[in-house]
Amino acid sequence: MAKKKVIFECLACGHQSPKWMGKCPNCGAWNQMEESIEHKETKGPKNTFKSDAPAQKVEKLKDIKEEDTPRIKTKINEFNRVLGGGIVEGSLVLIGGDPGIGKSTLLLQISAALSQNKNVLYVSGEESVRQTKLRAERLVEDSGELNVYAETNLEIIHSMVQKIKPDLLIIDSIQTVYHPEVTSAPGSVSQVRECTQNLMHIAKQMNIATFIVGHVTKDGQIAGPRLLEHMVDTVLYFEGDTHHAYRILRAVKNRFGSTNEMGIFEMKQTGLNEVKNPSEMFLEERSKHVAGSTIVATMEGTRPILVEVQALVTPTTFHNPRRMATGIDHNRLSLLMAVLEKKENFLLQQQDAYIKIAGGVKLSEPAVDLSIIIAIASSFQDKPTKGDDCFVGEVGLTGEVRRVARIDQRVQEAAKLGFKRIIIPKNNIKGLEFPEGTEVIGVSTTREALKIAFSV
The pLDDT assigned to 295 comes to: 94
388 has binding-site annotation: no
100 has binding-site annotation: yes
Range of the domain at 398: 281-453
| Domain shared by 222 and 348, yes or no | no
List the CATH number of the domain containing 397: 3.30.230.10
The pLDDT assigned to 219 comes to: 57
| Domain shared by 348 and 272, yes or no | no
Closest Cα partner for 392 from 353, 354, 440? Answer: 440
Q: Which of 248, 276, 304 is the last residue of a domain?
A: 276
Portion of the chain with pLDDT greater than 70, in percent: 89
Report residue 66's pLDDT band, with 50, 70 and 90 as the boundaries: low
| Domain shared by 84 and 231, yes or no | yes
First-last CA distance in the chain: 83
Q: Which of 241, 276, 311 is the last residue of a domain?
A: 276
Tell me if 263 is assigned to some domain.
yes
The pLDDT assigned to 63 comes to: 82
Report residue 69's pLDDT band, with 50, 70 and 90 as the boundaries: low
Q: How far apart (Å, rounded) are the C-alpha atoms in residues 418 and 189?
A: 52
Tell me if 44 is assigned to some domain.
no
Tell me if 289 is assigned to some domain.
yes
| Domain shared by 263 and 350, yes or no | no
| Domain shared by 242 and 271, yes or no | yes
| Domain shared by 146 and 288, yes or no | no
Contact 426, 401 (CB under 8 A): yes
Strongest mean pLDDT among 26-40, 68-82, 291-305: 291-305
Query: In total, how many domains does the chain have?
Result: 3
Strongest mean pLDDT among 28-32, 144-148, 263-267, 310-314: 310-314
Identify the residue with better confidence: 29 or 68: 29
Tell me if 50 is assigned to some domain.
no
Report residue 44's pLDDT band, with 50, 70 and 90 as the boundaries: very low
| Domain shared by 172 and 296, yes or no | no
Q: Which of 240, 257, 276 is the last residue of a domain?
A: 276
| Domain shared by 339 and 220, yes or no | no
Tell me if 46 is assigned to some domain.
no
The pLDDT assigned to 186 comes to: 84
Tell me if 47 is assigned to some domain.
no
Q: Residue 48 pLDDT more than 50?
A: no
98 has binding-site annotation: yes
Q: How far apart (Å, rounded) are the C-alpha atoms in residues 266 and 254?
A: 24
263 has binding-site annotation: no
**Cα-trace Rg, the chain:** 27
Q: Residue 398 pLDDT more than 90?
A: yes
Contact 244, 99 (CB under 8 A): no
HEC assignment per residue over 198-253: HHHHHHHHHCCEEEEEEEECCCCCECCCCHHHHHCCEEEEEEECCCCCEEEEEEEE
The predicted-structure confidence for 203-232, as pLDDT tens digits, reads as follows 999 999 999 998 776 655 665 556 678 889
101 has binding-site annotation: yes
| Domain shared by 290 and 251, yes or no | no
Tell me if 370 is assigned to some domain.
yes
| Domain shared by 259 and 287, yes or no | no
371 has binding-site annotation: no
Percent helix, percent strand, percent coil in the chain, to nearest 5: 25, 30, 45
366 has binding-site annotation: no
The pLDDT assigned to 42 comes to: 41
Tell me if 400 is assigned to some domain.
yes
Q: How far apart (Å, rounded) are the C-alpha atoms in residues 141 and 114?
A: 10
Q: Which helix (H) or strand (E) holds 107?
A: helix 103-114
Across 281-395, the runs of DSSP E, i.e. the strands, are: 293-300, 303-315, 323-326, 351-357, 389-391, 394-395
Please give the backbone phi and psi of residue 239, each rounded to the nearest 5 degrees, phi first.
Answer: -110, 160
The pLDDT assigned to 46 comes to: 43
104 has binding-site annotation: yes
| Domain shared by 262 and 302, yes or no | no
Q: How far apart (Å, rounded) are the C-alpha atoms in residues 163 and 180?
A: 20
- Supply the mean pLDDT for the chain: 85
List the CATH number of the domain containing 271: 3.40.50.300
Contact 451, 385 (CB under 8 A): no
Specify which residues 7 forms β-bridges with.
36
| Domain shared by 256 and 308, yes or no | no
